[in-house]
């Protein structure tokens, strides 16, 4: 039996690789998607072999991740529950897609993942698999009672790795899990399960890897320009770049100025609330500047329609429905809405803030002549027209008020008659 395992080299998947091989007497093919983990992929190949993998794939999917997953999501303005930039959520469909391709190549019978039975990732991986390869079996050890009894907590997993001589970046002094990619880093579990713990306190400064704290950011602001073409960022500071290079550049700039830190309690798809601490420096800049660009280039009603769909789109990504027909239908509408979103945004980065500092576009819908409070030299807007506009929009309000008053008067008359 051949099994393809989503492998990161972290605590959970290091344990899983060895455990799955023993339990199923299987040939385990480890797969690590390089979606921007940076140094996390170093030493992964010998570690996987040592742990028992028959083969390991470390595929560079960063460009595909940026262009085909991050950028379309940014066009949608997606943000979950007003704070989360969906960094982990959007990576899962790409990882699942590549896992399926490897499984097909090796004629594997199953794919396995290390997502817990309490988390969202199990849903994301398995919904993607259901859409792309419904015939493949799923092995999810965290939903196996035998596995949970053997590993009731992180201590047992750490002890197991020590016994097997598997080096992992986890200890009882740093008991939290971490997931990194091109868009963000997330931290959860362990000490972070206490919502009263201040993760921004100086004593936890070493936890963060992508950004400095706003307090430690430079005292001098930095101006940058971001260019868009049809809703996609195409250059930073006047230099044309690939989507991958754009994300790397914005991550560096944002991290330097303490941009994009989020600490929130979110609603998981499986029904519970969970705390997550996130660093999304480049994504925060991209999200903010894209919105600014839309403000002068997108039609009002198109914007309001798209905005009404942001919570639904974000929920679909968060819950794992990237390959669902409704997400694809929404994406078609979003792509159409972006055809005029082109131009340049200038922002000031300063101690965790992204401050608007200028907008320009050759297809701007903003007209200073029309918007001015002074006399309009083009006569495009006649202020007298506002009288009829307001009267017509207020008509239903006047009618409703008259009806309510008449109803109240009748009820008062009936009550008076009853008292007599």
| From 89, 177, 211, 361, active-site residue | 177
| Residue entry with tokens 């008053």 | 405
The candidate with the shortest Cα–Cα distance to 143, out of 166, 112, 168, 170, is 112
What's the CA gap between 166 and 175, in Å, rounded? Answer: 17
138, 165 Cβ separation under 8 angstroms: no
Order of strands, edge to edge, in the sheet holding 110-112?
A: 55-60, 27-34, 2-6, 110-112, 137-139
Known catalytic membership, residue 92: yes
Residue 334's SS3 state is: helix
The candidate with the shortest Cα–Cα distance to 256, out of 227, 286, 285, 291, is 285
Residue 67's Cβ-count burial label (10 Å; 0-12, 13-18, 19+) is middle
Known catalytic membership, residue 177: yes
Residue 377's Cβ-count burial label (10 Å; 0-12, 13-18, 19+) is exposed
Known catalytic membership, residue 144: no
The candidate with the shortest Cα–Cα distance to 55, out of 31, 73, 87, 34, is 31
Known catalytic membership, residue 14: no
Calculate helix-pair angle for 121-132, 87-106, nearest 10 degrees: 40
Residue 63's SS3 state is: helix
Output DSSP code: residue 183: S
7, 53 Cβ separation under 8 angstroms: yes
| From 12, 34, 179, 227, active-site residue | 12
| From 34, 121, 179, 227, active-site residue | 121
| From 62, 92, 154, 180, active-site residue | 92
Task: With residue 47 as reference, give the H or E element that holds it.
Answer: helix 44-51
172, 155 Cβ separation under 8 angstroms: yes
Helices (H), 320-365: 325-337
Give residues with Cβ within 8 angstroms of 348, minimum separation 6.
221, 222, 223, 354, 355, 356, 357
What's the CA gap between 337 and 232, in Å, rounded? Answer: 12
Q: Which residues belong to the active site? A: 12, 92, 121, 177
């Amino acid at each position: 039996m051949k099994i393809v395992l989503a492998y990161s080299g972290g605590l959970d998947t290091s344990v899983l690789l060895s455990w799955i091989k023993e339990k199923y007497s299987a040939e385990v093919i480890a797969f690590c998607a390089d979606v921007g983990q940076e140094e996390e992929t170093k030493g992964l190949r010998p570690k996987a072999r040592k742990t028992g993998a028959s083969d390991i794939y470390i595929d560079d999917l960063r460009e595909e991740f940026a262009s085909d997953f991050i950028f379309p999501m940014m066009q949608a303005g997606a943000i979950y529950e007003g704070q989360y930039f969906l960094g982990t959520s959007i990576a899962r469909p790409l990882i699942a897609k590549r896992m399926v391709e490897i499984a097909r190549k090796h004629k594997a019978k199953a794919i396995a993942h290390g997502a817990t039975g309490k988390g969202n990732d199990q849903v994301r991986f398995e919904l993607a698999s259901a859409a792309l390869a419904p015939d493949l079996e799923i092995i999810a050890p965290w939903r196996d009672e035998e596995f949970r009894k053997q590993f009731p907590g992180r201590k047992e997993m750490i002890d197991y790795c020590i016994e097997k001589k598997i080096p992992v970046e986890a200890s009882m002094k740093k008991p939290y899990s971490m997931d990194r990619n091109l868009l963000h880093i997330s931290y959860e579990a362990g000490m972070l399960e206490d919502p009263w713990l201040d993760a921004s306190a100086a004593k936890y400064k070493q936890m963060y890897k992508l950004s400095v704290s706003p307090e430690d950011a430079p005292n001098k602001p930095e101006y940058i320009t971001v260019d868009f073409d049809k809703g996609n960022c195409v250059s930073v500071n006047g230099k044309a770049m690939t989507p991958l290079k754009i994300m790397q550049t914005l991550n560096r700039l944002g991290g330097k100025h303490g941009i994009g830190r989020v600490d929130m309690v979110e609603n998981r798809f499986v029904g519970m609330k969970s705390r997550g601490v996130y660093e999304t420096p480049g994504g925060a800049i991209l999200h903010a500047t894209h919105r600014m660009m839309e403000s002068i280039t997108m039609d009002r009603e198109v914007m309001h329609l798209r905005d009404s769909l942001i919570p639904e789109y974000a929920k679909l990504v968060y819950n794992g429905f990237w390959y669902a027909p409704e997400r694809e239908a929404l994406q078609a509408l979003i792509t159409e809405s972006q055809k005029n979103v082109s131009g340049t945004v200038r922002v000031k980065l300063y101690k965790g803030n992204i401050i608007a500092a200028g907008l320009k576009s050759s297809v701007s819908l903003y007209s200073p002549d029309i918007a001015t409070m002074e006399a309009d030299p083009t006569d495009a807007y006649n202020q007298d027209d506002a009288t009829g506009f307001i009267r017509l929009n207020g008509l239903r309000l006047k009618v409703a008020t008259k009806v309510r008053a008449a109803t109240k008067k009748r009820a008062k008359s009936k009550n008076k008659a009853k008292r007599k």
